[in-house]
Copies of this chain bind each other. A is one copy, B any other.
């Protein structure tokens, strides 16, 4: 997955986004809506109105005081801190530097049992969560054409003789393959594994793990990932 994202937390038709987070942070930092708005190049009236709208949807976020020492001021509530923390987690989950890279495999749903199904792909059969296109939509059905996404950070690499057992009751997807490429960061390593599909299966592992497995191009490995960490969504034919 490449490109950029914007994400919002939603409640009662109000979307909390990056501009709102900036406003709350500026209030915390400067202690007043007036100074925060000025620092962000926004009008105070609009900032106050936006806070009213956000509070109607997300609960009390800013305690505001007029008069008194310093002329008045504002501070964040605990609810605001929690909301900011939630927003940060959402951003972190999506941010490109935090392992949002995915391997995408195309295939057809072979069996569907409740929320889980098996998908036949070029790389082999994958067990995955079947995600409905819309919250109220019918679930993905057997025979549907789907894309299966596997996050790089959900993939574990094993030496061939140290891998989880194939088949049986193990719920892990398991693919033997050959290391095709290695990109090293300071403490994390991106490993591309050729598992016989159209493109490589990508794993994001720590440098210790990579070293412990002596990861290098040409090395045989087994890649595994949880069924519940794997999503299948419908695509057009």
User: Which residues does A use to contact B, with CB under 8 Å?
Assistant: 1, 3-11, 15, 28, 76, 81, 84-86, 88-95, 97-100, 102, 104, 113-116, 127, 129, 131-133, 135, 147, 149, 151-154, 156, 169-171, 185-188, 204-209, 211-212, 226-229, 231, 233-236
- Asked if residues B228 and A205 are in contact (CB atoms below 8 Å), the reply is yes
Asked whether A6 lies within 8 Å of B1 as measured between CB atoms, the reply is: no
Q: Are the C-beta atoms of B90 and A185 separated by less than 8 Å?
A: no
- The residue that A11 contacts in the complex, of B4, B10, B98, B204, with Cβ under 8 A, is B4
Q: Is the CB of B89 within 8 A of A149?
A: yes
Instruction: List the B side residues contacting A209 at CB < 8 Å.
Output: 169-171
The answer for the CA separation of A26 and B160 in the assembled complex, in Å, is 48
- A180 to chain B minimum Cβ distance, whole angstroms, is 19
Which interface residue of A86, A127, A129 has the most chain B CB atoms within 10 A?
Answer: A129
A44 to B206, CA, bound (A): 51
Which of B95, B171, B204 contacts A206 (CB under 8 A)? B171
* A12 nearest CB neighbor, chain B only: B4
> Beyond A89-B149, A97-B135: 4 further Cβ-contacts under 8 Å?
A3-B11, A4-B10, A97-B132, A98-B131
Q: Which residues of B contact A153 (CB under 8 A)?
A: 129, 154, 226, 228-229
Contact A88 B10 (CB under 8 A): no
